[in-house]
A and B are shown apart, each in its own frame.
Chain A
Amino acid sequence: GQQLNQSPQSMFIQEGEDVSMNCTSSSIFNTWLWYKQEPGEGPVLLIALYKAGELTSNGRLTAQFGITRKDSFLNISASIPSDVGIYFCAGQQWQNAGNMLTFGGGTRLMVKP
């Protein structure tokens, strides 16, 4: 099935550093979503983007919906140990009677105190 191209696959950074990850697709999406998954838990929604060009922040997190509607990035500023986890992007499209998501492969973030 279709997947989004998410990069990098993993990052190992020092506490306090900024982080950037992105997703690209050959398809256009109406909505871009960013999720975080911690061990033993389900993905939790961090940020939802609904308009091309939209830039949205949630605390230390900032995400943008690309103008072409085919890409998105997520930045985390001043990383802390609790930022550790797997971050997934997802493109959402309306399909027949409901929404359908396509996921990126995830970015595993490790933070060294």
Chain B
Amino acid sequence: DAEITQSPRHKITETGRQVTLACHQTWNHNNMFWYRQDLGHGLRLIHYSYGVQDTNKGEVSDGYSVSRSNTEDLPLTLESAASSQTSVYFCASSGPSRNSPLHFGNGTRLTVT
């Protein structure tokens, strides 16, 4: 079955370090998204991509970057991790049609100490 996989599931890092979270989907979906989930804020969009070489900023993009070199992967990079970036991160993807719903990965819990 097609799926969307995030790795690692848990990560602890120090302030100032660069961190990359992986997202891989086997649906061949064009659209991929990164969200963070924090208590009291729900799901907030960080970055998204509608295809290879396409990347766009979401509402909370500061301190994060993404790249899309192929259809299957959208890695999320924290250039210099900050304690405010401690959160649970979810990757999602959707197909090309207007009716295609989002499917989510199981998340990466990131702690910045």
Q: In whole angstroms, what is the CA distance A90 to B44 when docked?
A: 12
Q: How large is the interface on B (under 10, 10 to 19, 20 to 34, 35 or more residues)?
A: 20 to 34
Is A44 in contact with chain B by the CB < 8 A criterion?
yes
- From B31, B51, B98, A31 is in contact (CB under 8 Å) with B98
Q: Are A43 and B104 in contact (CB under 8 A)?
A: yes
Is B84 in contact with chain A by the CB < 8 A criterion?
no
* Distance between B36 CB and nearest chain A CB, rounded to angstroms: 12
A:89-104 near B, CB below 8 Å: 90, 92, 94, 96-101, 103-104
Q: In the complex, which residues of chain B have a beta carbon less than 8 angstroms from the beta carbon of A90?
A: 102
Q: Are A42 and B106 in contact (CB under 8 A)?
A: yes
Q: Are B99 and A48 in contact (CB under 8 A)?
A: yes
Is A3 in contact with chain B by the CB < 8 A criterion?
yes
Count how many pairs of residues, one from A and one from B, have CB atoms less than 8 Å apart in the complex.
62
Q: Are A88 and B100 in contact (CB under 8 A)?
A: no
Secondary structure of the A side of the interface?
Answer: strand
Q: Are B42 and A98 in contact (CB under 8 A)?
A: no
Q: In the complex, which residues of chain A have a beta carbon less than 8 angstroms from the beta carbon of B45?
A: 1
B:28-81 near A, CB below 8 Å: 30-31, 33, 42-45, 48, 50-51, 54, 58-60
With contacts A48-B99, A99-B98 known, is A1 near B104, CB below 8 A?
A: no
Q: Mark B89-113, 1 if CB is under 8 A from A, else 0.
A: 0101010101111111111000000
Q: Are A97 and B54 in contact (CB under 8 A)?
A: yes
Give the most central of B48, B90, B94, B101: most A CB within 10 Å. Answer: B101
With contacts A42-B107, A98-B50, A98-B96 known, is A33 near B101, CB below 8 A?
A: yes
Q: Are B96 and A41 in contact (CB under 8 A)?
A: no
Q: Can you list 29 A-B contacts with CB-CB less than 8 angstroms, sorted by A residue number?
A: A1-B44, A1-B45, A3-B42, A30-B98, A31-B98, A40-B107, A41-B107, A42-B92, A42-B104, A42-B107, A43-B43, A43-B104, A45-B102, A50-B99, A88-B42, A88-B43, A90-B102, A94-B98, A96-B50, A97-B54, A98-B50, A98-B94, A99-B31, A99-B94, A99-B102, A100-B48, A103-B42, A103-B43, A104-B42
